[in-house]
Amino acid sequence: MNKEEKHDLVLALSEQMKEFGNFYITDTSELTVAKINNIRRQCFDSDITMKVAKNSLIKKAMEAAGGDYTAMFDVLKGSSSILFSKSATAPAKLIKKLRKQGNKPILKAAYIDSAIFVGDEQLDTLIKLKSKEQLIGEIIGLLQSPAKNVISALQSGGNTLAGLVKTLQERG
């Protein structure tokens, strides 16, 4: 790989880091070509982009992306693959599924919406993460709940002043 190809790869990786906002660094060393191809196929089916690159190029891409990835630099040893996904949990679920067939890939680190998770023991935590949309939906549901209770109480009181007073007295 010449200098220009390395520069293009670093640029492409940094753009994907910015675009996806979520990526996982995994250890896929010592896997056969057939197993790597199987992982790539399952990544494609799960809408996950898999890239293999040298650790030095991954580090340069992180620096070029502009985020604070310094906590991840220590895991850039050995063979590394990067999994990019719009979904924060999809790569974790795929890794867990693949681990039923063998002991790899191993999670080195994950970057999820500016949060960094380091180590394979974080896999179960990553699987349980809720998306931003799910969290917003839960908050909206919690905020709507008291208003719905008041509205239903008013409707059951017949929308009269007496019903309102009775409802407020019962709540007090």
Sign of CA dihedral 134, 140, 146, 149: negative
DSSP bridge pairs for 84: 23, 49
Q: Write out the two tokens for 126.
A: 């990553």
> pLDDT tens digits, the chain, 172 residues: what are they?
788 888 999 999 999 998 888 899 999 888 888 888 989 999 999 999 999 889 999 999 999 988 788 889 999 988 889 999 988 889 999 999 988 888 888 999 999 888 889 988 988 888 888 777 777 887 888 787 777 776 776 666 555 666 666 777 787 6
User: Domain map of the chain by residue range?
Assistant: 3-128, 132-171
Report the residue count for the chain.
172
> Structurally, what CATH architecture does the domain formed by 3-128 represent?
2-Layer Sandwich (3.30)
Contact 48, 91 (CB under 8 A): yes
Q: Write out the two tokens for 68.
A: 């604070």
